[in-house]
Amino acid sequence: MNCEFTNNKSSLHHVLASVEELATLGKLWRSQSYQITCWIYYSTTIISSDKLYLTYFGALLTVRNMNDQEPRKLYIMRHGERVDLAFSDWMSQSFDKNGNYCQSDLNMPDNLPKRSQGYSAYAEDTPLTKIGIFQAQLTGEAFKKAQLDVSHVYSSPSLRCIQTCDAFLKSWGKNNEIKIKVEPGLYEWWALFGERLPDWLTPEDLAVWGYNVDLEYKPIISVEELGSKKESATEYYSRSFRVSTEALKAHGNDNVLFVAHAATLEVCTWKLTGEKPRIPDDTTRDVLAIPYCGFIEVRQIGDKWEKNGRPFLQLSHTANATFDYNRLS
């Protein structure tokens, strides 16, 4: 083989190699980010009608420098501001005894559709505030300005996550192009917050409400499986890693976005990037401090994944508390 191999940035080489030279190539690139594809071939010469001799054996190699390719990305985003944490007594303020909704603050939704489970379902499956919608819109704008891209979007079934996802996609301009895959496996560690799962809206309900959800999507983890038992912290991390790996595997080299909860930025990336899971106290103290619409990029380099921080500016603002204007009288 009259071909000199160097560790350069050329992305593709086509070469002929003898059997002995294959071992040399393996040593040369075993620590590099190269993908080597090999086609074995041989030629023959017939000496007589009953004898066949192999006269040459070799291989056609394709050597591709993987560092020349754009890294694959997994983006993870927390939902926007939720009504129940902005207004602790919002249910009593906003619903009458018959379950009719009435806006009681400019930051609350203008209206809320009635749910088949009854209005009490909003207590555990809270919507976004108007500020929460705006936060998601700003994040979508930033994603567009940064010229980032995804082909597939997954959301926790929580209404606040669906709404965040919808507002993000509309602001990015892709809400009609990309359908939301509702994935129960992206829900938070529910054992911390109650004895059972919330009564979520079904994908069919969400579609009726106008959200562009993928009605043909089969979840990685069903609602029934998720609610079958209260998880330990270790099981929560394992469940989240399963969702990450299976979602990424399903889409080849496409970029993927998860829209879910604060801890999702941690639990869906820890094992993917080779880190150890946090103990519950650390998760509560550090991870749950992630702000509304917190956003992280994880990228694939060769066979490894690494966290790449936030790919655009942070979103920060101050609180605007309720005020008793009778104090001015």
Average of per-residue pLDDT values in the chain: 84
Among 50-59, 200-209, 215-224, where is mean pLDDT lowest?
50-59
Per DSSP, helices labelled H in the chain are 19-29, 83-86, 90-94, 121-124, 130-145, 159-172, 203-208, 223-226, 233-249, 264-267, 280-285
**Which of the residues are catalytic?**
78-79, 261
Mind listing the pLDDT tens digit for each residue in 259-269?
999 999 999 99
CA distance to 5, 8, 10, 17, 64, per residue, from 61 (Å) = 12, 17, 15, 7, 10
Kindly state the tokens that stand for 260. Answer: 């879910």
| Residue 194 clears pLDDT 80, i.e. is over it | no
List residues bridging with 180 in a β-sheet.
Answer: 153, 213
Q: pLDDT > 70: what percent of the chain?
A: 77
Residues 277, 231: Cα–Cα separation, whole Å: 15
SS3 192: helix
Q: Indicate if the alpha-carbon torsion angle 300, 301, 307, 311 is positive or negative.
A: negative
The pLDDT of residue 67 is 52
Model confidence at 163, in pLDDT bands (50, 70, 90)? very high
Rounded to an integer, the average pLDDT of 175-187 is 98
Q: Which residues contact 164 (CB under 8 A, 6 or more apart)?
A: 77, 78, 79, 80, 128, 132, 135, 136, 155, 259, 293
* Per-residue pLDDT, 101: 97
- State residue 218 phi and psi, 5-degree precision: -100, 115
Identify the pLDDT of residue 52.
Answer: 43
Q: What's the rounded mean pLDDT across residues 113-120?
A: 93
Burial class (CB in 10 A: 0-12, 13-18, 19+), 71: middle
- Residue-wise pLDDT for 280-323, tens only, equals 666 556 677 899 999 999 999 999 999 999 999 999 998 888 88
Does residue 20 have a pLDDT over 70?
no
Question: What local confidence, expressed as pLDDT, does residue 154 receive?
Answer: 99
Q: Which of 112-126, 251-265, 276-290 has the lowest mean pLDDT?
A: 276-290
> What DSSP state is assigned to residue 322?
-
SS3 256: strand
- Residue 238 contacts by C-beta under 8 Å, 6 or more apart in sequence? none
Q: What are phi and psi of 113, to 5 degrees?
A: -65, 155
The answer on pLDDT for 97 being more than 60 is: yes
pLDDT in tens, 27-83: 444 444 455 555 444 444 444 444 444 444 444 444 445 455 789 999 999 999 999
pLDDT of residue 68: 56
For residue 130, the SS3 value is: helix
Distance CA 153, CA 181 (A): 6
If you average pLDDT over residues 178-198, what whole number do you get?
Answer: 92
Q: Tokens 């060769």 identify what position?
A: 302
Rounded to 10 deg, the angle between the 130-145 and 159-172 helix axes is 40
> What span, in angstroms and rounded, lies between the C-alpha atoms of 208 and 234?
37
Tokens of 94: 């906003």
Contact by Cβ (8 Å): 268, 76: yes
Closest by CA position to 268, among listed 78, 79, 127:
78
Question: Above 80 in pLDDT, residue 131?
Answer: yes
Q: What is the mean pLDDT of residues 85-102?
A: 94
**Predicted pLDDT of residue 46:** 47
Q: What pLDDT sits at residue 9?
A: 40
CB atoms within 10 A of CB 219: 19
pTM here is: 0.79
Tokens 């993917």 locate to 272
Mean pLDDT, to the nearest integer, of 104-118? 95
